[in-house]
A and B are shown apart, each in its own frame.
Chain A
Amino acid sequence: MSEKQLMKGNEAFAEAAIRGGCRLYFGYPITPQNEIPEYMSRELDKVGGAFVQAESELAAVNMAYGGALTGKNVFLSSSSPGIALMQEGFSFMASAEIPMVILNVMRGGPGVGGIQPGQADYRQATRGGGNGDYHIPVYGPASIQETVNIIYDAVTLADRYRNPVIILADGMLGQMMEPIILPEARETVTEEEIRIQKPWALLGHQDKKERTVVKSLRLQPDDLENHNNKMHEKYIEMMEELPQYESYRLEDAEVVFVSFGSMSRIVREAMDHLAEQGIKAGMIRPISLWPFPNKAFDEISPKTKMVISAELSIGQMMDDVKCAVCGRFPVELLYRTGGMVPTPLEVVEKTKALLEVTK
């Protein structure tokens, strides 16, 4: 463990990926994540890695796929419109079962949108923004430290499932500074170790072994269906293993917020204000967004009057919340969007208004 230090979010995320084992990074400038390619361009050379500023996000994601085909760990980052462009690659990598760690430092949308923080890529990430039957585990960390830890762990998680992993940060987490402790750097693996650990990796057959082919095309429908079923078994395993959340003050809560990422920190503060005013509020903070932590909702007290999906998007997460609540409580929406971020007091006022309406 290293010393506690003050770091800017984006730089800490880049360093976490390097320490996690990623020695390859391919990126394209887009605000608010530019510190990541800038950091990588400075640092990767020093650790025997490589950085390429791609001509587009489309090229970046395909370069990342190329790098990862060799069994090496690759880190990919962008922000909302850039992530939209990368969806072709995400679907392709999921189908070809290529590991990848992807960070989306979200901004407001749709279209070019703005450059202030947002969470409106929730649906794109959790549903799979590309074509076909596939899933990518999605995380929504709430602090720089948590993002760092999740990026670091995502490197081995992606390898284990042979699947991309997406981390949804946002412009606030990327641009702010917080004290953090960086994890120890993992040992890098040699080509010979990769040949043993990852027999699917493309390293040349050396006239010795069977050829290795990485493919996505399956022209025979039965072959494709079998492949999709095989991947689905993997997703079922993820649904059992990966759900992750934190809950706060659920017992006796009159109102329960569901909120992730930056927004959850604002809600957390609003909860204290509400408590001062005699309103008992609790929160479920999903850390994994897909699979969504449905079981957390069993902890909600029967006395709870209302569940509020508090998000920086217009009800994108609320669909999952409703599904998890499953009719047990009324579900309401509290949001700002387009780069607007509410103050804790705004959350308090809106919550009181929602409670008033249902009285």
Chain B
Amino acid sequence: MKTVFEYTRGMLPVTTGYCPGCTHGIAHRILMEVLIERGTLGETIGVAPIGCSILSHNYLNVDMCESAHGRGPAVAAGIRRALPDKTIFTYQGDGDLASIGAGEIVHAAHRGEKFTTIFVNNAIYGMTGGQMAPTTLIGQKSTTGVDGRKKEVSGMPLRMAELLATIDGAVYVERVALDTPAHVRGAKAAMHRAFEIQEKRLGFSFVEVLSTCPTNWGLPPTAALKWLADNMIPYFPLGILRTPGEVK
């Protein structure tokens, strides 16, 4: 009998507290698979955000810390100065990274910080109960925008990958999605490239991961996958926005 797929030892043997169908579980798993395959799991420090995935340190089998809301990239920059030889990542949601932490992520990219950011964009605040995020789509309903986001009031959804790709220090920027098995496999490949960039100390690497929030979107998990494909991908196009050319 040949093994095709077994759950990675990079994930701790516990049940996550995430809602049924929440794609955090997929993002966590492929991130840990990447660190195992690169042989760096034991030399990695992770930074958890504020949001649902603050609990990621209960699930990811690496040394981790929590960070105040949005400050993950600053914390990671500090860790990098103390530990020049380790692998470091931040794992951040869209409220954390694109709203309250917009300053920290921009300047981490600006300094070309040698760590990797996994940006889980599900277009809504999950933990606090479905409030509007900077990435909430026009017309998308939220608990702070019950009639749907309006451009005149809240502006257009913020495209963080595109924004960061304008900064020289951000040498690797890619947007991926978790709505199909092919896209999940692609997301994992993107994380491999991002960590390769980090290992070569070429600069800041960033992977935006389009994800679902079935609970706060008010959709069954399978319908949420379709909603992501039909609504998020057209506005947040997938692909590599920036690469130093040394990484295949």
Question: In the complex, A touching B, CB below 8 Å?
Answer: yes
Q: How near does chain A come to B106, taking the closest CB pair, in angstroms?
A: 8
Residues of A within 8 A of B168 (CB): none
Residue pair A62, B83 in contact (C-beta under 8 Å): no
Interface size range of chain A in the complex: 35 or more
Residue pair A55, B103 in contact (C-beta under 8 Å): yes
Residue pair A204, B75 in contact (C-beta under 8 Å): no
What 1/0 mask marks residues of chain A from 265 to 296 whose CB sits below 8 Å from any chain B CB?
00000000000000000000000000000000
Q: How near does chain B come to A175, taking the closest CB pair, in angstroms?
A: 28
Q: Which of A290-331 contact B (CB under 8 A)?
A: none
Q: Which residue of B lies closest to A70 (CB)?
A: B82
Residues of A within 8 A of B110 (CB): 55
> Does B28 count as interface, using CB distance less than 8 angstroms?
no
Residue pair B68, A214 in contact (C-beta under 8 Å): no
Q: Which of B11-68 contact A (CB under 8 A)?
A: 41-45, 47, 54, 57, 61-68
Residues of B within 8 A of A64 (CB): 78
> Does A227 count as interface, using CB distance less than 8 angstroms?
no
Q: Which residue of A lies closest to B104 (CB)?
A: A59
What is the bound-complex CA distance between A26 and B104, given in angstroms? 14
Q: Which residue of B lies closest to A66 (CB)?
A: B78
> Does A88 count as interface, using CB distance less than 8 angstroms?
yes
Residues of A within 8 A of B68 (CB): 62, 88-89, 92, 216
Q: Which of A32-69 contact B (CB under 8 A)?
A: 50, 52, 54-56, 58-60, 62-69
Residue pair A70, B64 in contact (C-beta under 8 Å): no
Residue pair A70, B62 in contact (C-beta under 8 Å): no
> Does B132 count as interface, using CB distance less than 8 angstroms?
no
Residue pair A66, B57 in contact (C-beta under 8 Å): no
Residue pair B42, A205 in contact (C-beta under 8 Å): yes
> Does A359 count as interface, using CB distance less than 8 angstroms?
no
> Does A124 count as interface, using CB distance less than 8 angstroms?
no
Residue pair B82, A66 in contact (C-beta under 8 Å): yes
Residue pair B67, A59 in contact (C-beta under 8 Å): no
Q: Which residue of A lies closest to B71 (CB)?
A: A62
What is the bound-complex CA distance between A68 and B74, given in angstroms? 12
Tell me which of B47, B62, B104 contacts A211 (CB under 8 A).
B62
Residue pair B42, A26 in contact (C-beta under 8 Å): no
Residue pair A212, B77 in contact (C-beta under 8 Å): no
Residues of B within 8 A of A353 (CB): none
Q: How near does chain B come to A110, taking the closest CB pair, in angstroms?
A: 24
Tell me which of A59, A67, A204 contacts B81 (CB under 8 A).
A67
Residue pair B45, A202 in contact (C-beta under 8 Å): yes
> Does B79 count as interface, using CB distance less than 8 angstroms?
yes
Residue pair B104, A55 in contact (C-beta under 8 Å): yes
What is the bound-complex CA distance between A55 and B110, given in angstroms? 10
Q: Which residue of A lies closest to B48 (CB)?
A: A215
Q: Which of B75-127 contact A (CB under 8 A)?
A: 75-83, 86-87, 103-104, 106-107, 110-111
Residues of A within 8 A of B76 (CB): 66
What is the bound-complex CA distance between A24 and B84, given in angstroms? 12
Q: Which residue of B lies closest to A63 (CB)?
A: B78
> Does A213 count as interface, using CB distance less than 8 angstroms?
yes
The list of the 6 closest CB pairs from A to B, nearest first, reads: A66-B78, A63-B78, A62-B74, A66-B75, A50-B81, A62-B71
What residues of chain B have their CB less than 8 Å away from a CB belonging to chain A? 41-45, 47, 54, 57, 61-68, 71, 74-83, 86-87, 103-104, 106-107, 110-111
Additional A-B contact list (16), CB under 8 Å, known A50-B81, A66-B76, A216-B66: A26-B78, A52-B78, A52-B111, A58-B74, A66-B65, A66-B79, A66-B80, A67-B82, A70-B82, A89-B71, A96-B66, A202-B64, A204-B42, A204-B44, A207-B41, A216-B68
Task: List 12 A-B residue pairs with CB atoms under 8 Å apart, sorted by A's residue number.
Answer: A24-B78, A26-B81, A52-B78, A58-B103, A59-B71, A59-B77, A59-B104, A65-B67, A66-B74, A70-B83, A88-B71, A204-B86
